[in-house]
Amino acid sequence: MSKRKQDADVNEFWSLARSFLKVYLPNAREVSQNTVKAYKQALETLIKYLEDSGFTKDTITIGTFTPACIEGFMVWMSKEQNCKPLTCNLRLSAIKTFLRYCGHHVITNESISREVLELPMKKVRKEKIEYMSNEAAAAIMNAPDNRRVMGRRNKAMLSLLYDSAARVQKLVDIKVDDLYLNEKASANGESFVTLRGKGDKLRNVNLSPKIAKLIQSYLNEFHPRENRGAPLFYTKRAGSLWPLSVDSVSRILKENADKARLRVPDIPERIHCHLLRKSRAMHLYIAGVPLPAIMELLGHASMNTTSGFYAFVTWEMVSEAMKKANEDHLEGEMLWKEPNVRKQLYTLD
């Protein structure tokens, strides 16, 4: 290959990569900036692998991304970077999307991208979802000191985070104008908060009357003036209101979880905001709320995402179902719940 052709192919790769990240994803696909960052990180990780393999940035072309190259990249991420299978799959998916984009824009790249698109994903072992008990979640929300100003703010914030099952970034993005509150529990008196999802898509999440009343009290104290564009949960700097940071919310959650753990020991040591979101979804699921409703609450675009995380049956649910089905026939202790009996039931010996 001539030096001129090599340089042209290298420039083509970098030009397509920039166009993919800066034009195609945010404009044609209308994905969020966080999604763009994830795609960029995938490409940067692939480039790092190529550099470790002897390439330089001025020698990388679209033709470099052969199936053998991408297979080596997957092994490198797993063995050298200690990436979990799910992380490897997410980055492979991003690379496939990029190469599909390249194939659409330069016809000579189509055969290359088609070969890579056929590469399989890594197998991911499904694990039981982690969530807190109702008692643990309630203890955390009630941990803030209601006698203190910041305690009342933190109680409202943690309660809304749980009740709405919002991601923490969406919580700090909420403005006063995003709330519609009706403290009366009537058929036409629903309260809701508008959340901005991925790609700035809006969705309304219903709030319970109890939370609506709590948030209204918070508004009366922390937003006495009608400033509908102000951040709901804020910090003051230079006389202006600024949204609380994600790190601040996480710190407040951990501090109150530590306090609540003194009364409810089963609160996990590793506490994070997403655990409240998962716990809320599981509590609704165990209570019998249909998965499509939980899907709407969580803002999942696909039912597969929701069912993949939440559609499993707990022993408690089995027990309750058996009680209802056999109310007049089950008496005494349910021996199948004993660990030694369950071990005998589920064995090939």
- Give the model confidence (pLDDT) of 229-254 as tens digits: 899 999 998 888 999 999 999 999 99
On whether the pTM is more than 0.75, the answer is no
The percent of residues above 70 in pLDDT, for the chain, comes to 79
Which of 188-192, 233-237, 328-332 shows the lowest mean pLDDT across its residues? Answer: 328-332
- In the predicted model, is pLDDT for residue 51 greater than 80? yes
In this prediction, residues 96-115 reach a mean pLDDT of 77
pLDDT at residue 121, rounded to an integer: 87
In this prediction, residues 256-260 reach a mean pLDDT of 96
CA-based nearest residue to 149, from 99, 220, 204, 230: 220
Read off the pLDDT band of 32 (50, 70, 90): confident
How many angstroms separate the CA atoms of 337 and 315, rounded? Answer: 8
Q: How many CB atoms lie within 10 A of CB 338?
A: 11
Calculate the average pLDDT of the chain: 83
- In the predicted model, is pLDDT for residue 15 greater than 60? yes
In this prediction, residues 43-61 reach a mean pLDDT of 94
pLDDT at residue 297, rounded to an integer: 80
In terms of DSSP H, where are the helices of the chain? 3-19, 33-52, 67-79, 85-105, 110-117, 134-141, 149-164, 168-173, 209-222, 246-260, 273-286, 291-298, 303-310, 315-325, 339-345
pLDDT at residue 347, rounded to an integer: 45
Question: Which residues in 129-164 are b (16+ Cβ under 10 Å) and which e?
Answer: eebbeeebbebbbebbeeeeeeebbbbbbbbbbbbb
pLDDT at residue 170, rounded to an integer: 93
Read off the pLDDT band of 328 (50, 70, 90): low
pLDDT tens digit sequence for 282-309 = 888 888 888 778 887 887 765 555 555 5
160 and 277 in contact (C-beta within 8 Å)? Answer: no
In this prediction, residues 19-39 reach a mean pLDDT of 90
pLDDT tens digit sequence for 109-167 = 666 667 788 888 888 766 566 789 999 999 999 999 999 999 999 999 999 999 999 99
Q: How many CA atoms lie within 13 A of 210 on its CB side?
A: 6
pLDDT tens digit sequence for 144-155 = 999 999 999 999
3-state SS class at 289: coil
pLDDT at residue 120, rounded to an integer: 87
